Structure 1
């Protein structure tokens, strides 16, 4: 039986297009030329921007086009078990099922959520889900039992738990669960009356829209999220600055995905200015922001807007990256590898890619970029041995015939 990974990228595009959509219709929906669509379906290459536009027009994630996940994601046994528990936790707690129990001590709840966020930031999404499912039940029980004067604080903690549950679901392509989780997070953030948490939830929803190829909604939601928390001139509160900086930088990422280079650069300049005011990276509500973080994002924006040389120049200036979470650093290095492939440094690109995938294989198999980079590198002078090693790590063929 032919597996989804057995098809070439061009064949997958054609299969996803199906008999009811012509190449001309796909070209119109994606804003690309018919010649570009034909070239892509013949597996004759294509830039990341092209694949992103095609995947958006096909209403799917780019990792499906690249074969790193099937149209309905096939998961490992541990993934499926975790996702079932996470789904039960999200839906049960929202319905009030199983929350009439003795809540944990505050320190225990805090430790459980901290472990979940730490696993997520390290790129261990299965571990994050395994931690957040019980923490979500505990947070719901805590909110249910909270006295009136503590309800807002308990609702804020519950909002954080739902938001992380949505993030994990989104990483596994479980869009319905991601939307449910982020919706419950918004409800609890509203109960908490916390503007910062509401903005974090809005940014999370925008990211889900991005992964669901709903770029117009992603752009609008991202704009709402950063405008709602714009700091006053002279504001020196690091938490407020970091939250705003992250949100305006994420809006730049969304604009870049939309192909709005000027808009992305303008928003990014605001993020860079905030980071300069801060002087260092800080962590707020599970998200880091500062000079290193915004530069890492700038590298990704430069690559996705067709400026690989600028991306590599930015990488040379980033300096100390110890403040980046493991997943943020890994993502940055994938962007660097893609920039190297785009500038015809095929073997160097594969070396960078192999280093990332060897260090974090579990994280890498949830990403779409390794397939893009491998395709670019295989069109150049990359060695077959490196491509075979990469295929072994990712568990899917990346060798282009």
Structure 2
């Protein structure tokens, strides 16, 4: 059965292969007929319900629980995340070795490189379901390559594994699985350090800071990023664009954490230091974290900090200085900035302008927007503002973001 079949379709096919009616499957699994019908029609179910059906069909549960990105507010996330959990954080046996079946395929670094690139491309195109399907097998394949190869080939395999674990970590942050993300990013950092790739290591630390920030661990983020930035601080006169961007992003993370921790002066200082690195670059530079860094990126993060520290009017004023045509390279950064703009409009008493920004984002980046907690909070505040019934545009946005009316 192909991996593009949803769980309900898989269960229906398995049931029919065994000549079972829905009534007979429900009885064998100890479930109601309505539950079986709902699942086969595409509905969600608890993991224990999938387990019962699997037992009745003589299959392992994950034979039909297709990996997908958990939707916001999804209370049945265990099945959708099981495959990527198994690849990133497998159980450990009595010998101390992880219990992970890597198969017996012959290593092929070219094929692994293409597969890693596919995961990265899916993530940066906001195709999160595709990341959920691809990442587990690519991570397992990377483990196999590192185990089987040696010398330079093993270093190349470690680099690819660090890269795909980094992408997986960033995807997991997007779907709010922060502890699992930190596990992936820790292992990405370990591989980067093993092969002496400083920009890749800095990228793993920067992403780690992002996950920690989502857990409100602001002091830890600031300390981590400042210490790392001190250790890798480049000589401005001879630094490469990669070194400048890695150092700059660590300072931007520190600045974001300081702003959220009510340390506006320190935040401004970090942003000023990042701006000094950006001033030496021609345009925006891609980083090992696949984030862009340059003058525009620093400006966007400065606006974010102004908003966080209670200056929405200044954030909107600075927003007018952001170039109108930043291109596809800065898409994610600009989209985050647009959410900041919506929040600033709301805080300055203009919910209509805030909703308009969200509607533009829904048009331009719908899959990405669905996973943004900040967007849901803005929609909740818009709905809470008027005393009258929400209008059709507000209701549509609430439905799209999963916000209760």
Q: TM-score range by the shorter chain?
A: 0.7 to 0.9
C-alpha deviations, 1:335-357, integer Å up to 9, x for none? Answer: 11111111222211111112213
Match of 2:308 among 297, 304, 308: 304
C-alpha deviations, 1:6-39, integer Å up to 9, x for none? Answer: xxxxxxxxxxxxxxxxxxxxxxxxxxxxxxxxxx
TM-score, normalising length: structure 1: 0.74
1:110 aligns with 2:102: no
C-alpha deviations, 1:312-345, integer Å up to 9, x for none? Answer: 2222111132154433222111111111111222
* Rg (Cα) greater in structure: 2
TM-score, normalising length: structure 2: 0.73
In 2, Cα distance between equivalents of 1:379 and 1:171: 26
Match of 1:390 among 397, 400, 404: 397
SS in 2 for 1:243: helix
Number of positions where the alignment pairs a residue of Structure 1 with one of Structure 2:
326
- Equivalent residues in 2 for 1:5-24 (5 A)? none
In structure 2, the CA distance between the partners of 1:102 and 1:165, relative to structure 1 (3 Å rule), is same
**Is the contact made by 1:281 and 1:292 (CA closer than 8 Å) also made in structure 2?**
yes
In 1, Cα distance between equivalents of 2:104 and 2:305: 47
Match of 1:84 among 82, 96, 104: 82
Cα deviation for residue 228 of structure 1 reads: 2.5
C-alpha deviations, 1:120-168, integer Å up to 9, x for none? Answer: 2233333223232222122222212222233333222212222222222
- Equivalent residues in 2 for 1:326-345 (5 A)? 326-345=331-350
| Equivalent position of 1:243 in the other structure | 246
SS in 1 for 2:320: helix
| Equivalent position of 1:38 in the other structure | none
SS in 2 for 1:95: coil
Cα deviation for residue 104 of structure 1 reads: 4.9
| Equivalent position of 1:256 in the other structure | 259
Cα deviation for residue 69 of structure 1 reads: 5.5
- Equivalent residues in 2 for 1:115-126 (5 A)? 115-126=118-129
| Equivalent position of 2:24 in the other structure | none
SS in 2 for 1:213: coil
- Equivalent residues in 2 for 1:214-233 (5 A)? 214-233=217-236
- Equivalent residues in 2 for 1:294-373 (5 A)? 294-319=298-323, 320-373=325-378
In 2, Cα distance between equivalents of 1:196 and 1:388: 45
C-alpha deviations, 1:166-216, integer Å up to 9, x for none? Answer: 222222222332232122223222322222222222222222211122222
In 2, Cα distance between equivalents of 1:252 and 1:204: 14
Cα deviation for residue 234 of structure 1 reads: 0.6
In structure 2, the CA distance between the partners of 1:81 and 1:392, relative to structure 1 (3 Å rule), is same
**Is the contact made by 2:109 and 2:157 (CA closer than 8 Å) also made in structure 1?**
no
In 1, Cα distance between equivalents of 2:225 and 2:127: 26
- Equivalent residues in 2 for 1:65-84 (5 A)? 74=75, 82-84=80-82
C-alpha deviations, 1:19-77, integer Å up to 9, x for none? Answer: xxxxxxxxxxxxxxxxxxxxxxxxxxxxxxxxxxxxxxxxxxxxxxxxx955xx525xx
**Is the contact made by 1:200 and 1:225 (CA closer than 8 Å) also made in structure 2?**
no
Match of 1:275 among 267, 275, 278: 278
In 1, Cα distance between equivalents of 2:180 and 2:378: 30
Cα deviation for residue 107 of structure 1 reads: 2.9
**Is the contact made by 1:256 and 1:304 (CA closer than 8 Å) also made in structure 2?**
yes
Q: Which one scores higher on RCO, CA 8 angstroms, separation ≥ 6?
A: 1
Moved more, 315-324 or 253-262: 315-324
In structure 2, the CA distance between the partners of 1:312 and 1:103, relative to structure 1 (3 Å rule), is farther
Structure 1: gaps spanning 5 or more residues: 1-67
**Is the contact made by 1:256 and 1:264 (CA closer than 8 Å) also made in structure 2?**
yes
In structure 2, the CA distance between the partners of 1:370 and 1:149, relative to structure 1 (3 Å rule), is closer
1:174 aligns with 2:181: no
In structure 2, the CA distance between the partners of 1:130 and 1:283, relative to structure 1 (3 Å rule), is farther
SS in 1 for 2:310: coil
In 2, Cα distance between equivalents of 1:361 and 1:373: 16
In structure 2, the CA distance between the partners of 1:323 and 1:234, relative to structure 1 (3 Å rule), is farther
